[in-house]
């Protein structure tokens, strides 16, 4: 019997530990197997009635086992992420019980976690700061400032720098440029985003062919979605709901938060009922309408959508037609979602956006995008010309992929990315297909982050905000890699994950003095495998 | 003055030389002095005590302790605290004899009463107690004055220092003291039993000092018999905590203390030894204790080197001690220890270290490992362990001699390949010397080793033993007050008197004395084991060819054998039976006369009776004996 960990795709017919990306502790000889057919002497043997525990420490990427509640010491170090608990049974009739924590563990895992929390807390407490007066403050201000700059909140960054007597390292214009590109990506307008990038940072994408490829694939997906500018202008109708992103940059600061945050917005966009996209509306109003107004508007709409038509019309005539199409009363919009998502971003948009910017946005965003469940989403917005354009673009993409392979060698990530994107066309309703999640606006985030990082690197800014780098250093080999390698191929996403969780975590410490992110890691990924007796046969308890 | 001396040892020494201490003490004791003045005096004295050991000595010479203890009677809390602080500093100095705390019988009760005054009195008093409680007498004094009840509730104090000092108090109170330990188990603090509170204090997020000290408390309570060794608070809490204290992440001092405490905890219990041996790779972890000072520390950092050097001995002896405990009973663990990188070399090197502590621990470790037959035959032989061991045995202090000679007993076992070379290097003389020691443990080991040595040995060795031991010494040992010595001496006699030619040879030279000794013991007040052993000696003698006659011509002895055949204890009956069998055995010369004589004594009747015995062994023996008559 072997107990251990495996990555996805490891052969399930072999004991854990024997194959690549697989790790195990075997009961017959007590050896540990680290992706190898030959074991190392590790611990005692185990048999019927023993309770074996397996604990993965996600802070230092190590693993130790326990036998009947006694820690046997570190078995593996430098573990890769995303491992699954694995039990291999070899003898006929073997039975195991698994305990993932539904019953108390024999080993005192709580105590172990307490030790680590204390350790990390002490590490933070002992973080070296110059003794001279004010250095603490300066450092925190730098952290905040770099965070703002990194994510392109130029107005806030400017105001913050002014009030704290700091200099912003990056020119404001540059921040705004990045912000503009980010907005385009997050709005799904990839064609424009690529074009703007090429205009503003001429050699950037040439030097990063993989990044360009990633962007182009995303553009293809957005074409399918009907949101990309190239198909939008061809479409007879306005783009569909998937363009749910407010044009102002959403603070996607915290990846660990982003799923839930993103979900809110998604609900807004494609929830059960119809959803309206208000970003254009905001830029029109140019900050005149307060959050409160939004909310009351929303409430009234809830009662009767028709009532709002005149009001909307009065603001922008071009919308009226769409709003008239809007037939559903089943408007499912929660006010807190509303204020969380759109409300918050609207204030950002107001603060950050310059007037020129607003104008520009007005041009493209004046249409109010409305979707309802009654209106079926159609490929490329339903226009035949757009579909043809999309097919043509797909061919170009295929050619580009082949060329990339010739020049840079095989790239499985690229290959998979393209295959997944093309798979969308295999379904009559791509949005509800198994590969439909690609159309989700959330998927724009990693692309956006990778592009932002690449621009910053090219301008030799910090790729990650100081906040993310200074505190704990690289948390794991992955994040270390992400900071040193080219940010194409989605590694930027990995980085943003780490960045965000630390950022989030620091905020939480300030609020509650506890380390919730850390606790969450443990909760979600700690598991203990344990055996207990069942009759005379060996039994495993996980 | 106060401001001048703070943190300045030179100024402190200057003031003392200038005679400040008597003056300060005068002001402190003067009734007319205001409390503020008295307090300031106590503070300055406390500051002076913080200096060098010489400062403390000067203060002691001026009889500062009675003056400060007198000050504790004052009603003013600030003054009391200042006095206690100064007393604390003085009593924690190694130059202060702790007896000074106990000379005045009223002091302890008064200190107990002061415990309720403030967190500072609590901290200082606990610290004084934990430093001055040395040995069972002090423990009893403190215990009788209610130390347990008075200090227990301090474990939940809000002040970390108070909690910590209270905890230390309990560790010194419980050490090797069943009375205190049994009381502690049942003490309730805020509705929780003391052991539970200790368990909470060894949680992994608590300061290391606290974890270590509460693990000590639980260890001492367990060793004193107040907590079972299979209790979860020992098996799942204390033991793992102590193993963690041995890890590389801990400071060298903590690792030493952790290993020593763990060695003490698991020493008597094989199950705990087994658990410790698989916990966190402890055996491999301990190998790291031998890597100080490391080659790196020497180059990079003189301070570090100094620190490492200071602790190197302590680390080594702690590791040896823990290895000794780990390998005390379990063969597999011994094997694991010996298979650890260069471990035998390290232990053998340890035998010749200058530090007595390290040598003692190394010998203990080897002794523990020498209980393995397999290791005796292999590693012990490969590493010629006997050589440094024989060296250790020359002129070593008693404590080392006791352990080293125990180990020698094992190395002299008949199957040990070291036996020959040890004999050749003069072990007989050395062991005979040990049997004359004042220390009963050394006498036992000496005679024990001789007994092992004589087991199935050749004639020459037996003669050597008898010659260098001398019959006088042999008889002295037979009347030794220590039962163990007596038993092993009889064992030695029995081993000497085996195989017929040896029996005849020895009996021909020492027969008279031996028969005398045997008679003496059989007549004396001794327990069953001793008598049985003696009867076995007689049976051996009866196996000799000429030696038989010594029994047959001794009616007194024959009567005794007859008596023991009818004894109520089967073991003794059996042993006496052996004698008779040997005497009446048919094929031997003169068996007919012996049979006749014994029949006349009424032995045959007894044999008939015994052949009906419910004990099958005895019954068979009796029947075999009767057959000798029939043939």
**Could you tell me which residues are beta bridge partners of residue B192?**
B189
Structure tokens given for A487: 């940010």
pLDDT of residue B64: 94
Structure tokens given for A435: 């590969």
Q: Does A71 touch chain B (CB under 8 A)?
A: yes
Measured in degrees and rounded to the nearest 5, phi and psi for residue A85 equal -65, 135
Look up tokens 């004359």; give the residue: B436
* Distance from the B176 Cα atom to the nearest Cα atom in chain A, whole angstroms: 27
Instruction: List the one residue out of B66, B76, B144 whose CA is nearest residue B112.
Output: B144
pLDDT of residue B252: 92
Name, in order, each residue with C-beta under 8 angstroms of B347's C-beta and a sequence gap of 6 or more.
B320, B323, B362, B365, B366, B369
Residue B547: pLDDT over 60: yes
* Distance from the B214 Cα atom to the nearest Cα atom in chain A, whole angstroms: 16
Chain A residues near residue B340 by CB distance under 8 angstroms:
none
Instruction: List the one residue out of A353, A281, A344 whose CA is nearest residue A312.
Output: A281
pLDDT in tens, A105-115: 999 999 999 99
pLDDT of residue A243: 42
Would the pTM of this model clear 0.90, i.e. be above it?
no
- What value does the mean pLDDT take over residues A241-261? 39
Euclidean distance between CA atoms B532 and B587, whole angstroms: 27
Residue B179: pLDDT over 80: yes
Total count of residues recorded for chain A: 542
pLDDT in tens, A424-453: 888 888 888 888 888 888 888 888 888 888
- What value does the mean pLDDT take over residues A159-171? 76
Burial of A459 (0-12, 13-18, 19+ CB in 10 A): middle
Mean of pLDDT over chain B: 89
- What value does the mean pLDDT take over residues A297-312? 40
- pLDDT: which is higher, B491 or A361: B491
- What value does the mean pLDDT take over residues B609-623? 82
**Could you tell me which residues are beta bridge partners of residue A5?**
A23, A85
Q: What is the DSSP letter of A534?
A: B
β-pairing, A275-276 vs A22-26, is: unpaired
Look up tokens 């540059």; give the residue: A174
Instruction: List the one residue out of A220, A197, A342 whose CA is nearest residue A283.
Output: A342
Q: Does A111 touch chain B (CB under 8 A)?
A: yes
Q: How far is CA B150 from CA B93, B103, B108, B179, B249, in A?
A: 25, 21, 12, 17, 36
CB atoms within 10 A of CB B631: 8
| The Cα angle at residue B44 between residues B39 and B45, in degrees rounded to 5 | 95
Instruction: List the one residue out of B116, B40, B105, B103 whose CA is nearest residue B71.
Output: B40
pLDDT in tens, B356-411: 899 999 999 989 988 888 888 888 888 888 888 888 888 788 888 888 888 888 88
- pLDDT: which is higher, A486 or A375: A375
Name, in order, each residue with C-beta under 8 angstroms of B417's C-beta and a sequence gap of 6 or more.
B376, B377, B381
- pLDDT: which is higher, B36 or A381: B36
Structure tokens given for B627: 């057959």
Residue B464: pLDDT over 50: yes
Nearest to B203 among A43, A73, A114 (CB): A114
- pLDDT: which is higher, B131 or A427: B131
Phi-psi region of A172 (alpha: psi -120 to 50; beta: other; left: phi over 0): alpha
Q: Which of A162-171, A460-469, B23-32, B611-620 has the lowest mean pLDDT?
A: A460-469
Nearest to A43 among B204, B240, B278 (CB): B278
Q: How far is CA A488 from CA A149, A175, A501, B487, in A?
A: 21, 21, 21, 85
pLDDT of residue A169: 63
Nearest to B278 among A44, A108, A111 (CB): A44
- When pLDDT is cut at 50, 70 and 90, the band that residue A170 belongs to is low
Euclidean distance between CA atoms A362 and A280, whole angstroms: 6
- When pLDDT is cut at 50, 70 and 90, the band that residue B22 belongs to is very high
pLDDT in tens, A189-214: 888 899 888 888 888 888 888 889 99
pLDDT of residue A235: 55
- What value does the mean pLDDT take over residues B434-458? 87
- What value does the mean pLDDT take over residues B346-357? 88
Residue A301: pLDDT over 60: no
Euclidean distance between CA atoms B621 and B564, whole angstroms: 15
Contacts 24+ apart (CB under 8 A), B8-11: B9/B51, B9/B52, B9/B55
Size of the A and B interface in Cβ pairs below 8 Å:
34
- What value does the mean pLDDT take over residues A377-391? 80
Choose the mutation target among A63, A104, A111, A122 for the interface with B, i.e. most B CBs under 10 Å: A111
| The Cα angle at residue A448 between residues A443 and A451, in degrees rounded to 5 | 135
Q: Does A44 touch chain B (CB under 8 A)?
A: yes
pLDDT in tens, B293-303: 776 655 667 77
- pLDDT: which is higher, A297 or A9: A9
pLDDT of residue B146: 94
pLDDT of residue B297: 54
ipTM of the complex: 0.80
- What value does the mean pLDDT take over residues B181-204? 95
Inter-residue contact B74 to B80 (CB < 8 Å): yes
Residue B586: pLDDT over 80: no
The percentage of chain B sitting over the pLDDT mark of 70, rounded to a whole number, equals 99
The H or E element spanning position B494 is helix B483-496
CB contact under 8 A, A112 and B204: yes
Look up tokens 């130790």; give the residue: A64
**Could you tell me which residues are beta bridge partners of residue A67?**
A52, A70
pLDDT of residue B563: 87
- When pLDDT is cut at 50, 70 and 90, the band that residue B130 belongs to is very high
Euclidean distance between CA atoms A166 and B111, whole angstroms: 60
**Is the peptide bond preceding residue B293 cis, with omega within 30 degrees of 0?**
yes
């Amino acid at each position: 019997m072997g107990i251990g960990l495996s990555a996805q795709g490891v052969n399930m017919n072999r004991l854990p530990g024997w194959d690549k990306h697989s790790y195990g502790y075997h009961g017959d000889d007590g050896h540990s197997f680290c992706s190898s057919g030959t074991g190392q002497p590790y611990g005692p043997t185990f048999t019927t009635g023993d309770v074996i525990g397996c604990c993965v420490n996600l802070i230092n990427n190590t693993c130790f086992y326990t036998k009947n509640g006694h820690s046997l010491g570190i078995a593996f170090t430098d573990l890769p992420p995303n491992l699954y608990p694995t039990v291999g049974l070899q003898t006929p009739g073997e039975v195991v019980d698994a305990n993932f924590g539904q019953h108390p563990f024999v080993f005192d895992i709580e105590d172990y976690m307490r030790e680590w929390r204390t350790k990390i807390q002490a590490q933070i407490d002992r973080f070296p700061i110059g003794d001279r007066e004010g250095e603490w403050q300066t450092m925190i201000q730098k952290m905040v400032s770099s965070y703002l700059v990194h994510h392109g909140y130029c107005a806030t960054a400017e105001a913050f720098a002014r009030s704290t007597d700091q200099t912003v390292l990056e020119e404001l214009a540059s921040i705004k440029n990045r912000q503009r590109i980010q907005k385009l990506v997050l709005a799904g307008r990839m064609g424009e985003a690529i074009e703007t990038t090429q205009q503003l940072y001429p050699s950037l994408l040439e030097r990063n062919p993989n990044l360009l490829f990633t962007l182009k694939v995303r553009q293809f997906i957005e074409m399918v979605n009907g949101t990309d500018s190239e198909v939008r202008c061809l479409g007879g109708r306005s783009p569909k709901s998937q363009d749910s992103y407010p044009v102002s940059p959403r603070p996607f600061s915290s990846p660990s938060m982003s799923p839930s945050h993103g979900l809110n917005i998604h609900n807004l966009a494609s929830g059960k009922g119809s959803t309206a996209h208000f970003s254009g509306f905001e830029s029109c109003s140019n900050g005149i309408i307060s959050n409160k107004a939004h909310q009351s508007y929303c409430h009234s709409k809830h009662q009767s959508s028709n009532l709002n038509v005149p009001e909307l019309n009065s603001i922008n005539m071009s919308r009226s037609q769409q709003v008239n199409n809007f037939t559903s009363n089943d408007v499912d919009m929660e006010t807190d979602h509303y204020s969380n998502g759109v409300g918050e971003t609207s204030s950002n948009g107001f603060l950050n956006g310059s007037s020129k910017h607003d104008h520009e946005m007005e041009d493209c965003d004046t249409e109010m995008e409305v979707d309802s469940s009654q209106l079926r989403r159609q490929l490329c917005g339903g226009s035949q010309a757009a579909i043809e354009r999309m097919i043509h673009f797909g061919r170009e993409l295929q050619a580009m992929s082949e060329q990339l392979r010739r020049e840079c060698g095989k790239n499985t990530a690229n290959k998979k990315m393209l295959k997944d994107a093309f798979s969308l066309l295999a379904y009559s309703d791509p949005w509800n297909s198994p590969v439909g999640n690609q159309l989700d606006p959330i998927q724009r985030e990693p692309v956006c982050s990778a592009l932002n990082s690449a621009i910053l690197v090219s301008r030799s800014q910090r790729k990650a905000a100081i906040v993310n780098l200074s505190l704990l250093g690289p948390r794991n080999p992955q994040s270390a890699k992400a900071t040193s390698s080219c940010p194409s191929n989605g590694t930027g996403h990995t980085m943003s994950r780490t960045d965000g969780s630390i950022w989030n975590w620091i905020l939480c410490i300030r609020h509650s003095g506890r380390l919730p992110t850390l606790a969450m890691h443990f909760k979600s990924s700690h598991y203990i495998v344990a055996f207990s007796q069942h009759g005379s046969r060996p039994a495993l308890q996980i | 003055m106060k401001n001048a001396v703070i943190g300045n040892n030179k100024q402190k020494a200057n003031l003392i030389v200038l005679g400040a201490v008597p003056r300060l003490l005068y002001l402190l004791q003067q009734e007319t002095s205001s409390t503020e003045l008295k307090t300031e005096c106590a503070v300055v004295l406390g500051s002076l005590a913080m200096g060098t050991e010489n400062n403390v000595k000067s203060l002691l010479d001026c009889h500062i302790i009675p003056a400060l203890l007198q000050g504790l009677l004052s009603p003013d809390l600030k003054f009391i605290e200042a006095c206690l602080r100064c007393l604390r500093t003085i009593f924690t100095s190694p130059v202060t004899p702790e007896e000074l705390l106990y000379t005045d019988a009223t002091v302890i009760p008064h200190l107990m009463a002061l415990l309720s005054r403030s967190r500072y009195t609590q901290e200082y008093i606990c610290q004084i107690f934990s430093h001055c409680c040395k040995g069972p007498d002090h423990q009893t004094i403190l215990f009788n004055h209610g130390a347990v009840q008075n200090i227990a509730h301090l474990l939940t104090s809000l002040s970390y220092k108070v909690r910590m000092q209270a905890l230390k108090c309990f560790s010194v109170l419980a050490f090797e003291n069943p009375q205190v330990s049994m009381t502690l188990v049942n003490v309730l603090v805020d509705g929780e039993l003391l052991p539970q509170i200790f368990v909470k204090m060894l949680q992994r997020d608590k300061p290391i000092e606290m974890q270590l000290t509460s693990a000590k408390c639980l260890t001492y309570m367990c060793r004193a018999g107040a907590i079972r060794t299979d209790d979860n608070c020992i098996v799942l809490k204390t033991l793992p905590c102590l193993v963690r204290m041995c890890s590389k992440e801990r400071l060298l001092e903590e690792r030493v203390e952790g290993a020593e405490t763990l060695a003490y905890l698991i020493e008597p219990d094989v199950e705990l030894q087994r658990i410790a041996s698989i916990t966190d790779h402890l055996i491999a972890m301990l190998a790291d204790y031998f890597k100080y000072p490391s080659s790196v520390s020497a180059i990079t950092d003189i301070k570090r080197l100094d620190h490492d050097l200071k602790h190197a001995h302590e680390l080594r002896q702690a590791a040896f001690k823990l290895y000794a405990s780990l390998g005390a009973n379990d063969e597999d663990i011994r094997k694991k220890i010996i298979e650890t990188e260069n471990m035998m070399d390290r232990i053998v090197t340890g035998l010749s270290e200058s530090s007595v502590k390290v040598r003692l621990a190394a010998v203990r470790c080897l002794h523990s490992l020498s209980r393995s037959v397999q290791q005796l035959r292999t590693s012990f032989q490969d590493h010629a362990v006997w050589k440094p061991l024989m060296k250790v045995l020359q002129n070593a202090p008693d404590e080392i001699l006791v352990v080293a000679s125990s180990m020698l007993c094992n190395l002299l076992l008949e199957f040990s390949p070291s036996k020959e070379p040890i004999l050749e290097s003069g072990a007989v003389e050395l062991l005979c010397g040990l049997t004359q020691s004042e220390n009963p443990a050394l006498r036992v080991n000496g005679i024990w080793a001789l007994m092992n040595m004589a087991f199935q040995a050749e004639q020459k060795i037996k003669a050597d033993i008898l010659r260098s031991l001398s019959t006088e010494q042999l008889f002295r040992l037979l009347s030794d007050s220590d039962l163990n010595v007596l038993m092993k001496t009889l064992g030695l006699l029995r081993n000497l008197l085996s195989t017929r030619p040896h029996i005849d040879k020895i009996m021909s030279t020492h027969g008279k004395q031996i028969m005398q000794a045997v008679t003496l013991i059989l007549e004396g007040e001794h327990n069953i084991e001793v008598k049985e052993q003696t009867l076995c000696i007689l049976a051996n003698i009866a196996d000799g060819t000429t030696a038989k006659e010594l029994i047959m011509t001794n009616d007194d002895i024959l009567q005794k054998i007859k008596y023991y055949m009818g004894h109520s204890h089967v073991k003794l009956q059996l042993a006496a039976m052996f004698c008779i069998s040997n005497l009446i055995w048919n094929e031997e010369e003169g068996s007919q006369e012996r049979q006749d004589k014994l029949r006349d004594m009424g032995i045959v009747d007894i044999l008939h009776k015994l052949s009906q015995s419910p004990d099958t062994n005895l019954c068979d023996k009796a029947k075999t004996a009767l057959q000798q008559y029939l043939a």
